[in-house]
Structure 1
Amino acid sequence: MRASASWAVRAAVALATVYAVSACGSTDSGNNGGTAGSSANGEQLPVVATTPEVADFVRNVGGSGIRVTQLIKPNVDPHEYEPTPADIQAISTASLVVKNGVGLEKWLDQTITSAGFKGTVVDTSQGVTLRRGDPDDEEMAEGDPHIWHNPRNARIMAENIEKALVSADSAHAAAYQKNYQDYAAKLDALDAENVKKFDALPVGQRKLVTNHDAFGYYVDRYQLEFVGSVIPSMDTSAELSASQLTDLVAKIKATGTKAIFSESSLPPKSAEAIAQQAGVKVVGGEDALYGDSLGTEGTPQGTYIGAEEHNTDTIVKALGG
């Protein structure tokens, strides 16, 4: 993501629009008109979540006790996201704002300031052991932000959310704690299934090439070999140079890598061009990996667990075939 010099202008315009948005109320379903801290009075606690993954964790832990506004929609690149007037309005009336952290939401601090938000910001990355960031990219200096691709990290993220909800709404602490325990068991099961599936794939075939460097935590957890990425960065705004393209093609051929995996939130053209030069297939379309996003709401891939199951099944099938 690259910060825009015109952000302040957009923010000013957005603030002027907030009052019009406010008059119409929230567009989220389940809006009971609650205000900050209103859950103690029997209404749902208003919570804003930034990314689809974080929003899914919040819904699973919060259950019926909360009302979630998700800022970034499915298949939208979080690295390039720009907040809207509706985002500012939602933040201004929330009790909690829950973020991924590790510098993924570079735009969030200014948006919170514009909204006049005085509540609690929950950084779900707290306690996660971070992978080193790209030394050549100051935007990723805090570390690799794609922490959710290891289900063990997802468990930590969900626990941070549980603690924040209990603190904000102690009257429903028992429900939030039970929801977390139930969801943590599902995350543990996902992790165990992933291990089982990769154990069935010969070590020499576990070679991964993706659209951008989003799967580092996944690669580390399941002992894959990361051959390279079409976009040579954790940030999707980076560009592949001619020499890097040549090097990647050569590396794909030298390692015997079978496929390049495109991602749902990124265009597949560059991946297709490199695959043609390297003589390998592109895994895309409905089989594209969920790198920075989740699938469409209402589909299995519209949940974190469903998207991660899809990723593992797709990778194992393509590399084992």
Structure 2
Amino acid sequence: MKHRQRTFVAAATAAALVLLGGCGSGDDNAAGGGSDAASGNKLAVVATTPEVADFVRNIGGSDVTVTQIIKPNVDPHDYEPTPADIQAIGNAAIVVKNGVGLEKWLDQTIESAGFKGTVVDSSQGVTLREGGHEESEGGQDEGEGEHEGEEHDPHIWHSPLNAKTMVANIEKGLAAADPAHAAAFAGNLKNYSAQLDKLDADNEAAFAKIPADQRKLVTNHDAFGYYIDRYKLQFVGSVIPSLDTSAELSAQQLNDLVAKIKATGTKAIFAESSLPPKSAEAIANQAGVKVISGEDALFGDSLGAEGTPEGTYLGAEQHNTQVIVAGLGG
């Protein structure tokens, strides 16, 4: 996989050099200069994931232009950059990433783009979960966001408390790059942090209606560790037994998961929007439980389509809680 990514980036770099010679746009989501006339003197920011891009839009407001690399319902674990991504990074003032090793492709892409600006790691200061639930049973590690690698769970945004840390890091990075708008960024941070507090309180209230022995979750992959820890759910297992989406269940693991679903009285398997539901449906059929998919699929690695309520972080997380609570019988 790493060799394939390096080969792709090298080829994409050559193509990007051609694009850089004759391509330009004032589009809000197009690559623009660090702060040029084409973008109305707005700070040009590249954000890697849908969640991080939404955070930047909320904190930056009308004073930034945001180029989002990974589109909705695209698996970030297996992403490969495009020539347009390299062009956008090369023209940006700031690159904002999720961190914790989620963007394995980013460092090489930044190097290929010749990017000399600031990289903001939104995970700085987040208390990281070490490994998946199978290994740690929800235990936490006090390491900081810079300790990247697959031994830590990168799905940090699924706790609104972590999201507050992420947006604070983003506000700090934007203010350093554009001091003239620092007061606006600070005001946006205050308002958005209050919305994150409300999300957290609403989630807690929703799960308070579910008896503790019914809060059992089976998902496509182990993406909800921070959410599970925050709201005191029980992780029964996942269709893909990994923090990323590259692993597959062995026959023995499949049988074990089916047996565990039956033994624990788990009511449903929750599919995810960025992953096909076929494996979840097969396991659900064997276990005799329902699979929740389609429009009710959870947003594990992504957000919903642009322009929909679920296309925002707040909307996607509200959707997840509503679906999980309904699926668990609340």
TM, length-normalised to structure 1: 0.94
Alignment correspondent of 1:43: 41
Aligned equivalent of 1:128, options 106, 120, 126: 126
Whole-Å Cα distance in 2 between the matches of residues 136 and 190 of structure 1? 28
Q: CA deviation at 1:193?
A: 0.3
Whole-Å Cα distance in 1 between the matches of residues 22 and 202 of structure 2? 45
Q: CA deviation at 1:5?
A: 1.5
Q: CA deviation at 1:170?
A: 0.1
Alignment correspondent of 2:7: 9
CA change 1:27–1:244 in 2 (3 A) is farther
Q: CA deviation at 1:269?
A: 0.4
Alignment correspondent of 2:61: 63
Q: Which amino acid aligns with 1:118?
A: K
Q: Which amino acid aligns with 2:164?
A: R
Are residue 244 (structure 1) and residue 244 (structure 2) matched?
Answer: no
CA change 1:213–1:46 in 2 (3 A) is same
Whole-Å Cα distance in 1 between the matches of residues 191 and 159 of structure 2? 18
Are residue 306 (structure 1) and residue 320 (structure 2) matched?
Answer: no
SS in 2 for 1:320: coil
Whole-Å Cα distance in 2 between the matches of residues 33 and 295 of structure 1? 23
Q: Contact (CA 8 Å) 1:91, 1:115: kept in 2 or not? A: yes
Q: Contact (CA 8 Å) 2:46, 2:69: kept in 1 or not? A: yes
Q: CA deviation at 1:31?
A: 6.7
Aligned equivalent of 2:50, options 31, 35, 52: 52
CA change 1:244–1:113 in 2 (3 A) is same
Unaligned runs of 5+ in 2: 136-147
SS in 1 for 2:86: helix
Q: Please give the residue correspondences for 1:224-239 in structure 2 after superposition, counting only pairs within 5 Å.
A: 224-239=233-248
Q: Contact (CA 8 Å) 1:59, 1:68: kept in 2 or not? A: yes
Whole-Å Cα distance in 1 between the matches of residues 117 and 47 of structure 2? 13
Alignment correspondent of 1:22: 20
Aligned equivalent of 1:108, options 88, 91, 106: 106
Alignment correspondent of 1:272: 281
1:30-82 per-residue CA deviation (whole Å, 9 max, x = no partner) reads 3798522559x961100000000000000000000000000000000000000
Whole-Å Cα distance in 1 between the matches of residues 197 and 310 of structure 2? 18
Q: Contact (CA 8 Å) 1:264, 1:288: kept in 2 or not? A: yes
SS in 2 for 1:260: strand
Q: Contact (CA 8 Å) 1:28, 1:69: kept in 2 or not? A: no
1:256-302 per-residue CA deviation (whole Å, 9 max, x = no partner) reads 00000000000000000000000000000000000000000000000
Alignment correspondent of 1:223: 232
Unaligned runs of 5+ in 1: none
CA change 1:31–1:190 in 2 (3 A) is closer
Whole-Å Cα distance in 2 between the matches of residues 99 and 79 of structure 1? 13
Aligned equivalent of 2:299, options 290, 297, 300: 290
Alignment correspondent of 2:86: 88
Q: CA deviation at 1:201?
A: 1.0
Whole-Å Cα distance in 2 between the matches of residues 201 and 240 of structure 1? 30
Whole-Å Cα distance in 2 between the matches of residues 312 and 45 of structure 1? 34
Q: CA deviation at 1:20?
A: 3.1
Whole-Å Cα distance in 1 between the matches of residues 29 and 272 of structure 2? 33
SS in 1 for 2:129: coil
SS in 1 for 2:44: strand
Whole-Å Cα distance in 2 between the matches of residues 32 and 254 of structure 1? 51
Q: CA deviation at 1:311?
A: 0.2
Q: Which amino acid aligns with 1:164?
A: G
CA change 1:230–1:274 in 2 (3 A) is same
Alignment correspondent of 2:97: 99
Whole-Å Cα distance in 2 between the matches of residues 189 and 267 of structure 1? 32
SS in 1 for 2:110: helix
Q: Which moved more, 1:178-187 or 1:140-149?
A: 140-149
1:223-262 per-residue CA deviation (whole Å, 9 max, x = no partner) reads 0000000000101000100110010000000000000000
Whole-Å Cα distance in 1 between the matches of residues 299 and 16 of structure 2? 32
Q: Please give the residue correspondences for 1:252-271 in structure 2 after superposition, counting only pairs within 5 Å.
A: 252-271=261-280
SS in 2 for 1:228: strand
CA change 1:38–1:169 in 2 (3 A) is farther
Q: Contact (CA 8 Å) 1:77, 1:292: kept in 2 or not? A: yes
Aligned equivalent of 1:171, options 173, 177, 180: 180
